Amino acid sequence: MKKYFLTGLIWLTVNVSTQAQNGNYAMGARSAAIGGTSITLGDEWALFNNVGGLAHFQEKAIFTSFKNKYGISEFTSLALGGTYPILGGTAGMGMFRFGDDLYNEQRLNLGFSNQLGIVSLGLNVSYYQLNIEGAGSRKTIMIDFGGRAELTEQLYFGAHVSNLNQAKLSTLTDERIPTIMKTGLSYRPSRDLMLNAEVEKEVDQDAVVRLGLEYKILENLSLRTGFKTKPFESSFGIGFYPGKLKADYSYNNNPDLGGIHEISIGYIFSD
């Protein structure tokens, strides 16, 4: 009983401070290291962050990520995904889990993205399940839609809506999973440097501004940094891509709650 009470108290405190996990399912240490500015990235983690960018990752790959918030085991996120080029675009399948046995959120998502001129568009359909000890489980379907446009060789634009269909968790209380809208720009003056700016808005919440920088110091080694507002968090990280293997690490610091560590590993299958 004591464990249940303490876990519940910690969960309530952190959720109030971080606007809850519910509704935000971005993953990948690369994007986390650059302040979460993932809206214009065309990598494998676009499957979780902006499915519109997935068309730019024309690879067969598997990838996974582990994220822990504030050193508390109950606030751990795990993700696993795979991509496959098909029908002129890229399809992906991903799985996500956050929480422990007392409270957890799970998603199984299928996404597809295709390139149409300078624009790539994508759709993600997810089966979502929320489990709360003593309160049962709730299940629903979520739909995400996103896009990315190459305005010039150096300038990219991205936009994404998570939970476009405003999925309900309860028909009695009309409780819904938050709908989150993101838009942003990426300036890439050279192949080694990327500067990102992004705005995130949830209904009935203040807008969040994110800024990020990535610099490739060697062909297979990148350094990253960034920050976001509301609540303020600074971040940094590193990416190392030796051959077919991809490895990324990020650390985000919340001055009030502590650190967030994330590590991502991926493998690309060559034909």
In a domain, 105, yes or no: yes
The count of domains in the chain is: 1
Classify residue 132 by burial, with Cβ atoms within 10 Å: 0-12, 13-18, 19+: middle
In a domain, 161, yes or no: yes
pLDDT in tens, 221-262: 999 999 999 889 999 999 999 999 999 999 999 999 999 999
In a domain, 125, yes or no: yes
pLDDT value of residue 168: 85
Mean pLDDT over residues 110-114, rounded? 98
pLDDT in tens, 120-142: 999 999 999 999 988 889 999 99
93: domain CATH number is 2.40.160.60
DSSP lists the bridge partners of residue 154 as: none
Which whole-number Å values give the CA distances from 150 to 25, 58, 119, 240, in the listed order?
Answer: 25, 17, 7, 26
In angstroms, the CA 123 to CA 223 distance is 31
Q: State the residue for tokens 């590590």.
A: 263
**Given a cut of 90, is residue 1 above it in pLDDT?**
no
In a domain, 182, yes or no: yes
Number of residues written out for the chain:
271
Strands (E), the chain: 60-69, 76-86, 89-99, 103-116, 119-132, 136-150, 155-162, 180-190, 193-202, 208-218, 221-228, 233-240, 245-254, 258-269
- Tokens representing residue 48 in the block: 């979780």
* Contact predicate 123/51, CB 8 Å: yes
In a domain, 214, yes or no: yes
pLDDT value of residue 8: 46
Percent of the chain at pLDDT > 70 equals: 90
For residue 160, give its domain range. 2-15+26-269
Provide the mean pLDDT of the chain. Answer: 90
In a domain, 44, yes or no: yes
**Given a cut of 90, is residue 183 above it in pLDDT?**
yes
In a domain, 21, yes or no: no
Percent of the chain at pLDDT > 90 equals: 80
In a domain, 20, yes or no: no
